Structure 1
Amino acid sequence: MKKLFTALLGVTLLVGCSDDASTDTESKKIPIVKEVNEALNDLPEYDLLAQYIDLSTYEADVESDNNGTRVIYFEDEEGQKGYKSVFVKKSNHLKLVSLDNDGLVYDNIIQ
């Protein structure tokens, strides 16, 4: 009886821990900005992004946004990534890359 109880307790703990771990992993994959490009308006790189990317066609998917850099992918309505933006916050350096055959679109410091 003790072995059965211990086994059930162990399985319950494992299932409980695995659910929490998967929830944490899933939450990290959720983009910060996905469907509302208007949220990009406050970013220092917004004007240049809007100049080179048709933001009515592409949705922003913020891959990462930490103290040093912000990486944004721009996806079409089918979920295909069309552009990648890398903004270095300390130096205000923006690099914009077209992920099709066009390659580098913009690579400069924002004033």
Structure 2
Amino acid sequence: MNSLAKVIDEKIRPSLQAHNGDIELVGVTSDGFVQIKLTGACSTCPGAQHTITEFIECEIKDACPEIKGVQPVFQVNDELIDMALKILRKDNDRNVNEH
């Protein structure tokens, strides 16, 4: 899949980085779907799905005709989970002390 890495590095990544975002190749499924994760500003952009279907998928399919499509992977990292738990615990402690 050298052509996949090449199209990501040479065509897709520079465009996303121009918008303070990036792309991570998670993997390729056995049935021909590329799994990606958008990072930086692209991960929270309201237009991310449009970017995936109209730009990323088109570029990848042009370079790698054997690819059937692109699937975004939305992962929550441990740091974000820890932050959410602290907030929830703080709110819970506050509610207990008020009653």
- Provide the TM-score with structure 2 as the length reference: 0.33
Bigger relative contact order, structure 1 or 2 (CA pairs below 8 A, ≥6 apart): 2
Structure with a larger share of its residues in helix: 2
TM-score (ref. length: structure 1): 0.31
